[in-house]
Structure 1
Amino acid sequence: MATGRRSALRRLMLAAAALAPALPLSAAPATTADNGTAERTLALVRRAVAHLQQVGPQRAFADFSDPRGAFVDGTLYIAVNDAVSGVNLAHGLTPKVVGNSLLELQDSDGVFVIKKLIAVGNSPNHRGWIEYKWPHPLSHQWQRKRAYTERVGGVLVTSGYFP
């Protein structure tokens, strides 16, 4: 990917993180202490997978991309990416990234986040955890984030929390 495109993608994701305080993330307002947990992250992904299997991709992706919907819990939200191309298909915090290839997206340390998710999705279990750094949606500071992903057909259903 050209440096200009990578910079543009990084700016898009940083802009999305900057918008977070303006977006109501759930019925209960999130606080800086509400960084999620491994258990809540896992439960949210499993609930999203069940919803996807029950209602199909078109409806599920729309539901996942609703910042005020049932698949956003404090700073936790669902993101769905194509398991090969990295194209984002749903995003609970930043619906405007939907339709963009995030394959070359890097964290502040140069880790290719979506490529790591794809590797987990292609593992024998088709699910697992990764770690990377990401701007916290409330403080906007780069922090360690843990994400859990499950491959369902040709997509990765993912959520993450800040430990």
Structure 2
Amino acid sequence: MITRRTLLTTTLAVAALPAFAIENTVGTREEAMAMAKRAHDFYNENGREAAIAAFMDPADTRFRDRDLYVWSMAFDGMMLAHGATAALAGKNLITMRDVDGIPLTANAVKVAQESGTGWIDYKWRHPETGEVLAKSAYVMKVNDDAFVSVGIYLP
């Protein structure tokens, strides 16, 4: 016999499933920071060329997970690797601005050079949906020449 309490508990549990499923499809700040640290360490241990190849490999789950991916840039604005948009690699994006005019590349370079690590905020096209969304990216200086970054899409 199904009681009201059992029915209510089951209904609440089923209603929570879509939120749980959505929540697990996007990366968190902590996961972005951890991926950036992995990318930082890999870059320093294996060198620039190996890091670029790994960051650009869509099958390398160390540097790509759900909507999280690594991008790496030289301090002059040259995109070394972009895990979601390979066409950006090899382009100088120092003057790039988001849809609201925020100089995201210059901001990322500034954080890396001045603080070593930190967050920047901007808007970016989601690689799966194509929708322009608010995003925060964790920037981590690798050496005197470059940095790595991993961003999260904000709700």
Give the 5 Å matches for 1:102-121. Answer: 102-121=93-112
1:137 correspondence with 2:138: no
Aligned length, in residue pairs: 132
> Which runs of no fewer than 5 residues in structure 1 stay unpaired?
1-30
Alignment check: 8 A CA contact 1:149 1:159 kept: yes
* Bigger radius of gyration among the two: 2
Alignment check: 8 A CA contact 1:149 1:157 kept: yes
CA RMSD after TM alignment: 1.7
- Separation (CA, whole Å) in 1 of partners of 2:132 and 2:88: 19
Question: By how many angstroms is 1:72 displaced?
Answer: 0.6
1:159 correspondence with 2:150: yes
Question: By how many angstroms is 1:36 displaced?
Answer: 1.1
1:46 correspondence with 2:37: yes
1:58 correspondence with 2:49: yes
> Which runs of no fewer than 5 residues in structure 2 stay unpaired?
1-21
- After superposition, the C-alpha distances for 1:64-120 in whole angstroms (9 at most, x for unaligned) are 11122131111110000111x100011111222111001111111011110000110
Question: By how many angstroms is 1:41 displaced?
Answer: 0.2
Q: Percent identity?
A: 32
- Separation (CA, whole Å) in 1 of partners of 2:68 and 2:152: 6
Aligned to 2:5: none
1:72 correspondence with 2:64: yes
- Separation (CA, whole Å) in 2 of partners of 1:78 and 1:44: 8
Q: TM-score, normalised by structure 2?
A: 0.80
Q: TM-score, normalised by structure 1?
A: 0.76
